[in-house]
Structure 1
Amino acid sequence: MFRINQFISRKIMVTFAALIVAVCIVLSLFFFFMTQRVINQNVVPQFRQVLNIAMDGIIKGMDSTQAMQAAQGNSGEIMKIETYLETQLQAYQLDNLYLLRIEDNKAVVAAVANSSKNFKDKQEVQLSDNINKAMTDGKLLTDLYQTDAGSTVTYYYRVPGSSVIVAASMDASFVNSIISNLIWTTVIVAIVALAVCLWVAYKFSRKITLPLARLVRHTRLVAEGNLQQDIKMTGNDEIAQLARGFRLMTENLRTMVHQVLDSSDKVAVGTEALTTRLNKMQRMVDQSVQSVTSIESGSEMIANTTSENARAMEEITTGIQHIASSTAEISEQIGDASDSAITGNQMAQQAVTQMGSVEKAVMDTKLSVQTLIERSESISEILVAMSDITKQIRMLSLNASIEAARAGEHGRGFAVVAQEVGKLAEQSRASTYEIEEALESIRQESQKSTESMDSVTNEVKSGTELVQQAGDAFNRFVEMMQLANQTVQSASAATQEISAGSEEVSASVDETAEITHKSLTNVKAIAKNADRQSGEMLAYVEIMRELNNEALSLQNIVSKFKI
Structure 2
Amino acid sequence: MFKKLTIKRKLLIISTALLLIPLVVVSFINFMQTEESLNDLGKTNLSNSVEMTLEMINSLSKYVDRGEISLEDAQEKVKEAILGSKNEEGLRPINKNIDIGEHGYLFIVDEKGTMLVHPTIEGQNMWNDEDTKGLKFIQEIIKVGQSGGGFVYYDYPLIGNENQIEEKVAYSKVDSNWGWIIGASTYMMDFNKPANNILKVNLFTLLIAVIIGLIVIWVFTNSISKPIQMVMERMNLLSRADLSPEPLRIKSKDETGQLALAMNDMQDKLKNILQEIAKNSEIVSSSSEELTQAANEVKLGANQIVVTMEELAQGSEKQADNASNLSSIATNFVATSQEANEHGERVQQRAKEILALTNDGSRLMESSAKQMQTIDHIVRDSVGKVNELHTQVQEISQLVIVIKEIAEQTNLLSLNAAIEAARAGEHGKGFAVVAEEVRKLAEQVAYSVTDITKIVNNIQEEFSVVTEALTNGYKEVEQGSTQIKTTHETFTTIQNSLQEMVDSITVVAENLSTIATNSSEMNSSIQEIAAISEEAAAGIEETTAASEQTNSAMEEISASSEQLAVLAEELNRLVRQFKLR
Report the TM-score when normalising by structure 2: 0.37
Report the TM-score when normalising by structure 1: 0.38
Q: Which has the higher helix share?
A: 1
Larger Rg computed on CA atoms: 1
